[in-house]
Structure 1
Amino acid sequence: MIADRNSWTLTQDTADLRRPAMPSKPVSFDAQPQRVTIDLARTAVVVVDLQNDFCHPDGWLAGIGVDISGAQAPIPVVAALLPRLRAYDVPVVWLNWGNRPDQANLPPGVRHVYDAAGEGNGIGSTSGPSGSPVLQAGSWAAAIVGDLDVEAGDLAIDKYRMSGFVDTPLDSVLRNLRVDTLLFCGVNADQCVLNTLTDAANLGYDVIMIEDAVGTTSPSYCLDATFYNVRQCYGFTTTSQALAQTLAT
């Protein structure tokens, strides 16, 4: 069990508060602004918003006329990378928009982002091509796209903001996993991925964005600025090829 990473050994008479040993699994690979070494035993991969409403032709985003090719681009990269990471017991955390049906925890500013004109076509609406309530927990709209495999040991966390740390158990889960390094994949790189990565860095995690495993429906200059800011202010960027090469050896 994942929870066993952070556990005590108990008997009727004693409590051993030492956590289980986690033998180091160091790997080094090319990154920017410099080459990095991480410990895979203390690493998790966070996959952000690769869900139907953002990435599927029948999803909400495509239904309002957005070109989703940028959101679809990282899907095959992530599909190829995750099995390599799972082989080293790196936890996979799926972080998706999954709102409450009553939207009781959503402030007006969040609802405005998805329904700027107040026409009722945003979060919770069933007016999209699929008829599934937009970004609602438990719906087809919020489900991970079918091109990606979710395995039994993976973790799924619903989020309700651009950052996956606000009003969610993400930080508690990661700390119980005893990880300090986070690899970031998903969409949109310049929005939810960047906001979650920024909060992770501010909370003390080491952060690495995998350039070809993220995408965006924004203009290309937004992606360029995102990579620059990650390297300049928060952590590192690398590629799936650089990471896969070191995992293979």
Structure 2
Amino acid sequence: MSKQYSVEAKPYNFEFDLDKTALVIIDMQRDFLSPGGFGEQLGNDVSTTNVIIPDVKKMLETAREKDMLVIHTREGHRPDLSDVPPSKQARGGNIGKQGPMGRILVRGEYGHDIVDELQPVEGEVVLDKPGKGAFYQTDLDLILKNKNIETLLVAGVTTHVCVQTTIREANDRGYECLMLEDCCAAFDAKDHEDSIRMINQQGGIFGWTAPSTNVLEVLK
């Protein structure tokens, strides 16, 4: 059975080999999706990000059915905060402080973990990262190369920060990326829409974008 697929996308169809494709779910953590977390502490409305949980869950379930490599990322820091740059702490001053879900953006705390609906299962990669991009100071590139991955389906939050940064990093490393538009979200709708355009403009300068329904349709 062929595992070559073509998905309707912008700026043109996205072609991928299922055996060489991974689903990367970025930072679907309580700190960004739940009341009291880092996102809300910065003055954001988390209802704009947690609304995508059902669509991400559908994509995740399909990836599991198809035996795709699944990678979950979590942004956060060591308990002693030794990996928090002063510049980041200055603009996100709540990092490490006590919140309703534990210390904010600190590894091992309840708020740092992935929401219940999208909890990883055995065999899925959970990648802790100290920055916005999933390749920065992590072994993501090594994992992908060891698994012979060439293309990434990218979901998560926030579209204009960690999602877009990761896609740009992946592009520079030779990976082909499809941003799943309805499986990504930003706290501001304009940031989300602008990020979609930035990815697919100029003939797909950083990658492709499409709703996850287009992918699910071809994988049925």
Where is the helix percentage greater, Structure 1 or Structure 2? 2
Provide the rounded CA distance (Å) in 2 between the counterparts of 1:144 and 1:28: 31
1:215 has 2:175 as partner: no
Q: Where does residue 34 of structure 1 map in the other structure?
A: 12
Distance of aligned partners of 1:146 and 1:58 in 2 relative to their CA distance in 1, 3 Å threshold:
farther
Q: Give the TM-score taking structure 2 as reference length.
A: 0.94
C-alpha displacement at 1:64, in angstroms? 4.8
Q: Residue in 1 aligned with 2:44?
A: 66
Counterparts of residues 220-235 of structure 1 (less than 5 Å): 220-232=189-201, 233-235=205-207
- 1:214 is paired with a residue whose SS is strand
Counterpart position of 1:46: 24
Partner of 1:19: none
Alignment CA distance shift 1:195-1:84 (3 Å): same
Choose from 156, 164, 169 the match for 2:134.
164
1:4 aligned residue: none
Distance in 1 separating the partners of 2:161 and 2:109: 22
Q: Does 1:124 align with 2:96?
A: yes
2:42 and 2:92 in contact (8 A); partners too: no
Distance change (3 Å), C-alpha of 1:46 and 1:106:
same
Distance change >3 Å, CA 129–CA 201, structure 1 → 2: same
CA distance in 2, matches of 1:175, 1:86: 20
Structure 2 CA distance for aligned equivalents of residues 238 and 114 of structure 1: 32
CA distance in 2, matches of 1:63, 1:110: 15
1:50-90 deviations in Å (ceiling 9; x for gaps)? 00111012423234542111111211101111111122211
For residues 152-194 of structure 1, what are the alpha-carbon distances to aligned partners after superposition, in whole Å with 9 as ceiling and x for unaligned?
A: 1211010111111111111111111110101110000000110
Q: How does 1:1-249 map to 2 (within 5 A)?
A: 25-115=3-93, 122-126=94-98, 128-130=99-101, 132-217=102-187, 219-232=188-201, 233-248=205-220
Comparing 23-32 with 98-107, greater Cα deviation is found at 23-32
The runs of 5 or more residues in structure 2 that have no matched partner are none
The alignment's TM-score, normalised by the length of structure 1, stands at 0.83
SS at match of 1:192: helix
The C-alpha deviation readout for 1:191-248, integer Å capped at 9, x for no partner, is 011001100101111011000000011x222112101110022010011110110010
**Contact in 2 for aligned 1:162/1:192 (Cα 8 Å):** yes
Q: Gaps spanning 5+ residues in structure 1: where?
A: 1-22, 116-121
CA distance in structure 2 between the aligned counterparts of 1:87 and 1:213, rounded to whole angstroms: 18
- 8 Å Cα contact 1:79-1:149 kept in structure 2: no
Q: Distance in 1 between matches of 2:140 and 2:155?
A: 15
Distance 1:114 1:246, change over 3 A: same
> How many residues align structurally?
217
Root mean square deviation of aligned Cα: 1.5
Moved more, 23-32 or 186-195: 23-32
**CA offsets per residue over residues 97-132 of structure 1, 9 Å max, x none?**
1311112222212222312xxxxxx11110x233x0
Instruction: Quote the Cα distance in structure 1 between the aligned partners of 2:86 and 2:141.
Output: 25
AA aligned opposite 1:226: S
Identity over the aligned pairs, expressed in percent?
Answer: 32
